[in-house]
Amino acid sequence: MTSGADTFEDRVTAFARDVSDLIARTVVPSEPCGIQITSSENNGQPRALVELRPDTDARYVTVRIGGNDAAGLTVRIGCRPDSSGRYMAATESAFAIYSTLDRTPLFRLDYREAMRSAPSSHWQVHAERGALSNLLTIGGHNRPHNLAALHIPVGGARLRPGLEDFLQFVIDELGADSREGWRDVLNESRATWRRRQIASAVRDVPDEAVRVLRLLGYSVEPPGSGDGRTRDDTLYKW
């Protein structure tokens, strides 16, 4: 998912179009659906929320498994301009899969930029297992019988799974119906996502990028001006 647009609004629109295209070319929704963009401001900074929405008032988009309307999918991504103003950064993302038999999601893959009390990027599994509940009770967990209370870390802001990984999980592991060529679509989009994350990581830790490039034989010199400082917080944050 990428955009060569100039303004934040244009980047958001292009990004939303990419998300819509990715959904349409991979899973099989049971009903018409689209992408809704909600714009706002936070301390004078533009924000946007990109959401997959059914054409009805339903909470999620129903997707087919074995030809049946068996699962519900939600996709929600919050965006803002990054500190340079040249790129788009995610403030949050939430991908969830439901059974149509229950209102509680089965699996959630969440990211919260401002998260402090739990890993910023994490899986939550809504299930129960006696052995784990016993372990949590011994450890003094305040909700030992609720597995969803655990936030399973998955790499933080830069190394977290993308929407492509979540959709492949829904298709490959849960058996959701899929479009012809879906794997190639996900692979291409995943490569774009990971290149963008690598680029963001380089901007966070330019000295490490310079070190590795020099080891590979490249000639790299620091710029005469600009912010080339390492952002240690991106390395430490859970």
| Within-domain flag for 1 | no
| Within-domain flag for 98 | yes
What amino acid is encoded at 184 in this protein? D
Q: Are residues 157 and 184 in the same domain?
A: yes
Give whole-number Cα distances, 93 to 16, 51, 123, 166, 222, in Å: 13, 10, 12, 12, 34
Residue 8 pLDDT exceeds 70? yes
Which band of pLDDT confidence, cut at 50, 70 and 90, is reported for residue 229? Answer: confident
In the chain, the number of structural domains is 2
- Provide the 8-state DSSP code for 118: S
Residue 83 pLDDT exceeds 90? no
pLDDT value, residue 235: 87
| Within-domain flag for 54 | yes
- Domain ranges, residue 131: 8-204
Q: Are residues 118 and 191 in the same domain?
A: yes
Find, among 19, 17, 13, 52, the residue nearest to 193 by Cα.
19
Q: Mean of the pLDDT values across residues 67-79? A: 97
Q: Write the CB contacts of 159 (distance below 8 Å, at least 6 apart in sequence).
A: 197
Phi, psi of 105 (to 5 degrees): -65, 155
Task: Please give the helix or strand (H or E) that residue 34 lies within, else none.
Answer: strand 33-42
- Provide the 8-state DSSP code for 29: B
Q: Are residues 94 and 159 in the same domain?
A: yes
Phi, psi of 193 (to 5 degrees): -60, -45
Q: What is the DSSP string of 145-174?
A: T-GGG--EE--HHHHS--HHHHHHIIIIIT
The Cα–Cα gap between 17 and 15 comes to 5
Q: Mean of the pLDDT values across residues 50-79? A: 96
Tell me the pTM.
0.91
Span 201-213, pLDDT tens digits = 999 999 999 999 9
Find, among 95, 69, 78, the residue nearest to 170 by Cα.
95
Q: Are residues 180 and 190 in the same domain?
A: yes
Which band of pLDDT confidence, cut at 50, 70 and 90, is reported for residue 226? Answer: low
Q: Are residues 125 and 158 in the same domain?
A: yes
How would you classify residue 140: left for phi > 0, otherwise alpha for psi between -120 and 50, otherwise beta?
left
Q: Mean of the pLDDT values across residues 48-63? A: 94
Which band of pLDDT confidence, cut at 50, 70 and 90, is reported for residue 227? Answer: low
Q: Are residues 236 and 118 in the same domain?
A: no
| Within-domain flag for 159 | yes
Q: Are residues 101 and 126 in the same domain?
A: yes
